[in-house]
Structure 1
Amino acid sequence: MMRIKTMTIKLKLVLLFFGFFCVPFLVLGKFWYDRSMETIEDNAINNSQQLMRQMNYNLDVYFSDIKKATLPLLTQPLVQQFVKINPSQQYDYYDLSSRIQADLIPNTVYNRDDIYGLSIISLKGPYYSNIAFSDRVAMYRKELSENNKDNFRILGISKTVDGTEVITVFRRIIDNVTYVTAGYLIIDLSLNRTTNIINQAQLGKTGIISIVNTDDRYLYHPDSDRRQQLLPELYKSRFKDMNSPYFTNGSGAGKTIVAYNRSASTGLTIVSEVPLRELMEDLIYFRNLTLGFVLLLIALAFVTILSFSLSITRALSHLMNLMKKVEMGDLSIRAPLRKDEIGSLNRGFNLMLEDLNRLIDMIHISHLKEKEMAIHQRESKLQMLQARINPHFLYNTLGVINAYGIIAKVKPISQMTVWLSDLFRYSIDNPEDTVSLAEEIQHMFNYIHIQKERYQSLEVDVDLDFDRLKDIHTLRLTVQPIVENAFIHGYENYLIKPEYIGLRASFDDSGVKLLIIDRGKGMPPELVETYNHAFSFMTEEQMLQESAPFGGIGMWNVHSRLRLEFGEPYGLSIVSSASSGTVVEIRMPYRKEQSVC
C-alpha cells in the first residue's frame, strides 16, 4: 500500500488504464482465440474422420467389385485344370496357357481398364501370367505360404517390368474336387482407380492422404519413395487405439492433425495428415486484423485519457527534472514562468536557486583561501624534504661507505655501493629522456648485480647483441622495473628464492622484441588476459592516468610511457605465464636514423 502511495500521478493513471481497460480486453481476446483454435481443430478432425470413412467406403465398394468380377475365375475350368496340371506334362502346360491367353484373358482383363494383369500360381509349380513377372513368383510363393489364411488379401504396390505401378491382390483357388487350396490367383490392378478415389478429397494446400496395409506398411503414399515403407512407430502405436481415431503430431507451427479410419472389409487404413497452420490461416488473418483494430482503439483511448493528465503532470515532471539537474550541480537553469499555481512553484524554485548561488560563491571564496594556505604549507614541507634528501649528500654518503669497504677490504660492500650509486644516479635523471637499449640494459645490470649478492644461486641467462642494441630507441627505466617485477611477483611473493632471470632479443623491421623470462609461479590466466587486453586497447586518456585499470602500476607505467612516446605497436605484452614461469615481451623501435641491417 505504501508503494502505491509513492507512485507518480502519471504512473498511477497508466496503471489504472491498463488494469481496468487493457488487461480485461486482452484476457478476453486470448480466451476467444484459444476457443476458436479448439473449435477449428475439432471441426478439422471431424471433417477428416468423415472424409476417411467415405473414402474407405469407396475403396470397399471398389475391392468388393473386384471380388465379384474375379469370383467366376476361381471355378473356371481352364483355371481348375491349370492348378491341377503336373509340372512334367509340358504339352498340357503350354496348351492350357495358350487357351487361357486366348479365351480367359480377353474376357477378363481387356474388358476392364483397371485390371492390368492376371496371373495364376499353382502349388504344384507351374505358373501363368499375361505380363512378365517371373522374378516375383518366388516372392509371392513365400508370402502366400506364410500368410495362407486369407481368401482375399491386398499384397501391396509393385512395379512391372515396364515400370508401371500396380496394386497386387490375391485370391485363393480351391480345388473343386478335393476342396483344398490348389493355387492362387494374382490380380494386378492399375493404380489410377485408387488414386482417383483419393484425389477426390482435398485437404488444404499441403495435406496428404495415404493408405496403410494390414502389415503396417504404406500401400499408397503421395511420396512414391515411402510406398511399401513401414509406418513410424508413433503412428503404429496410435493406430492400435481405434477408440480415438485421431492424434496430433509435432508442435508449434509444424503441428499436424492425423486422422485415420480402418476398413473392416479390406483391413486398409486411410490416413489423412493436415498441417494445422493451413486450417488457421483465415483465423490468423482475422485475429491480426482484430488485434490491429483493438490496438488502434487502445492507443486512441490511451492518448485521449492521458492528454488531460499529461497537461498537469508535464509541468510537474519538468520541474522535477530541473531539480535533478540541480542535484547534479547545474545551478544555472531556471524554471519557466506561468500564471497559475505551478507558476508560483517555479518562481519559488528560481528564488531558491539564486540564494544557493549566492551562498556557494561565498563558500567557494572561503575554500579558495583555505586551499592557498594548504598549498603554501605543502610547498614548505616539500622544500624541507628536498633539503633532507639532497642527491649530493646521498652520493657522498655512498662514497664514504665505498671507501670504508675498500679500507676494510670487503669487496662486496664496495661493489654493492658502486652499483647502488650508479642505480640511484641513473634513476633520478629525467625518466622521459630517450636512451639506447644497450644503455638501459647496462643500468639494469646494476640491479641484477645487487640481487646476485642477495641470492648467490641466481642464474642470469643473457643472449643479447649489444652492438645492435645501441640502435634501439627506448626510455629510461623501461627494462629494470619489469625485471624487478619478476623478482617480486614471480619469486618473493611466493617465498621462493630467485633462481633464474633470462633476457632474449629478436629483431624485425619495426625494431626489437626483448623477452624477460623468469621461472617463478606465474599469474592466473584471467589476470594475464586482463593485462594483455588493457595493453592492447588502452586509450590515451588511460595512459595519462597514474593508476592502472588492473591494480599494479609498474608494468602499466612502462607500457603507457612507451606507447605515448612511440605509438603502436610498441609497449608490453605477456607472452605466457604458468606455474613454470612468465615471459614478458617489450617492443621498442630503431633510432630514426637507423634501419634494419
Structure 2
Amino acid sequence: MFRSNLAFKIFTSFVVLILFALTITSVSIYVRSSAELERYNKDMLTQLVNNALHHTDLYLEKYERATLSVLTSSLVKEFLELDAKNAFQYYSKSNEMIERVIRPVMIINPEIVMVYLLSYNGKIISDINNVTASKDEVIQDSLEELKQQTREDGRMTVMDYSFVDGTVALTRKIANRQTSKAFKGILGIELRIEELKTLWEDIHLGDSGYFFIVNDRGRIIFHPNSDKIGKQLDGDLFTLIMDHQNSSVISEHEGISRVFYNKRSEYSGWTLVATTSLAETRKPIMNVRQTTIVSAILTCFAALLVAFKFGRSITKPIQLLVAAMRETEKGNWTRVPLLGKKDERDRLILSYNIMVDRLSGLVDQVYKTELENRANLLHRKTAEFQALQLQINPHFMYNTLETIVSYAIIQDSKEIREIVRALAYMLRYAIRTDLEEVTVANELKHLLHYMTIMNHRFEREFPLDIAIPSELLLEKMVTLTLQPVVENAFKHAFPDGIDEYHTIKIDAKLEDDLFLIVISDNGVGMSAERLSEIQSRLMRHEPSQMLGSKSETDSGIGLLNVHSRIRMVFGDEYGLAINSVLGEGTTVLLRMPAAQTTGKLSIT
C-alpha cells in the first residue's frame, strides 16, 4: 500500500505539474504568436497600401506641376478672352499656343499623350503626341460633363473615364487670372498608365490577394482583372469600404471571407484597397497551432517517461528504509546497504545507518540521564530556596536604615537623615522584582533620591537640568535606566571634579513611534576611537566592561546592563546609543516605544 501510494502520488504530481506548465507555455506561445502574426499581416497590408498611395500621389502631382507653365502663360489668358466668332484669330492663337506652350510640356514629359485647352465658349486647342486619332469633338461634346466633374478649387481632377483606353485623364479649371475663381475654361492632359500599372502590378498579396483602386463614385480605376476597369464596384462592398475609410475590415466577397484594408488619397480622391482571403492570413497561425500541439504532445510524453523513472529512483530507497525500520521496531537493529550513487539517497541511507548505530548506544544512556535529571531537579529546588532567603535580607536592611534615621532625628542630623532616607528609597525601588516598566515620573523620583546623596557628597547642589515635557511624564520606560546613565556621567564626564559650569541635561521627545530620552553632559567627552569601540560593543551586545576597568562594579548596573534590559523588555530594535565629541561632552540616547504604539505594554 505504501509503495503504490507514494509512487502514484509522485507520478501524479509530476503529471499535473508538467501538464500545467505545458498548457501555460503552449497557450502563451500560441496566443502571442497569433497576435504577432495578425499584427504583421495588418502592418504588411497597411505598408503596401501606404507605399502605393504615396507613389501614386507623387506621380500625379508631377504632372499637376507640369501644367503650371500652361496656366501662367499670357497666351492662355488671350485664348480664353477670344471672340468665338473670329475664326482667323482663333487659328492664329491655336498654332502659337501649341508651339510655345503645349508642345514644350509634352517634350519634357513624354508620357503625356494629349494636352488640350477647352474654353467655356466651345473653342478647343489640343496637341496629340504620337496618336493618330483626334478627340477634339468628343471633348467638346463633353464640356458640360467636364465642368461638372472637375473640382471647383482649381486643383487637378482625375476623370472617371481614365484607364479604360490605357490612359489617365487629368483636368483642372482655369481662369484668365491665376488668382481668380471665375473659371472660363478647362485644361486637360492624358497620360500613359504603363508606369502606374507597373507600380501597382508589382504589389503581391499571396495566392488569393490582389490590389485595386476605386474612386469616390464607386468606379473601379484599376483592377488585376482588366475587364473590371471602368465598372462599378459592388454596392455593398463599396459602402463597407466607404464606411471604414483608412482601416481594415472583414467581409464576405465572391463567396470567400476576405480582409480589406483601404486608404483614401486626399489628392486624387481614389481609395486604394488591398485584400486577401482570411484563410490565407490565418494559415501561419494554424501552422503555429499545429506545431505547438505536436511539440507539446512529444514534450509531455518525454517528460512523463522521465517523471516515472525519477519517481522510481526515489521510492526504491524509501522502500528499503521502510523495511529496515520495521525490523528495528521489532528490536532488530538492521542496516541498509548503500546504492552506490553517492547522492542524497545514499546520504539518507548512511544517516539511517548512523542513527541505528547511535540508538543502540543511546539506550544504555537512558538510565544515566534519568539520574542526572533528578539531580538537576534537586539543584533547582535548592536555588529557589536560596532565592527566598535573599528576599528576607532587604527587610533587615530597611529596618536597620530606619533605625539609623531614628538616631539621626534624635541627634538632630539633617544630613544623615536625608542621605539614609534617600538610600532606603533607592534600595526599595531597586530590588522590587515586580517593576520592569515604570513611568518617567517614577524613574525621575528615583533619580532625585540619588541626586540627594550626590549633593551631600559634592557638598553643594548640582544643577541637574530636567527638561522633560509634563505630558511625557506618564510615558513608559524600563526601571533603573536613568540613574546608571547619570552616575556614569559623574564618574567619566567630570574626572577632574565638578565645576560651576558643569551640567547634565535630561530631555525627552516623541518621534514617530519612538519615545526618546536624551541624557547629555558638557564634560570631557571621549576620543573617536573610544567611541567607536563602545558603539561596536553595543551593536554586538558584548558582555564586557563599557567604560573603564571598573565600570560595571562601580556603577552597579552599567550601560550595557541598561542597553540589555531595554532590549529584553521592548525588543531588539530598541536600546541605548552613545555619541560623544572629545572636549565637548557626551550624549546618551534611550530608544523605547511610545506608549500610544504599545498600548498596555507587556514584557517582551
TM class by shorter chain equals 0.3 to 0.5
Q: TM-score, normalised by structure 1?
A: 0.42
Q: TM-score, normalised by structure 2?
A: 0.41
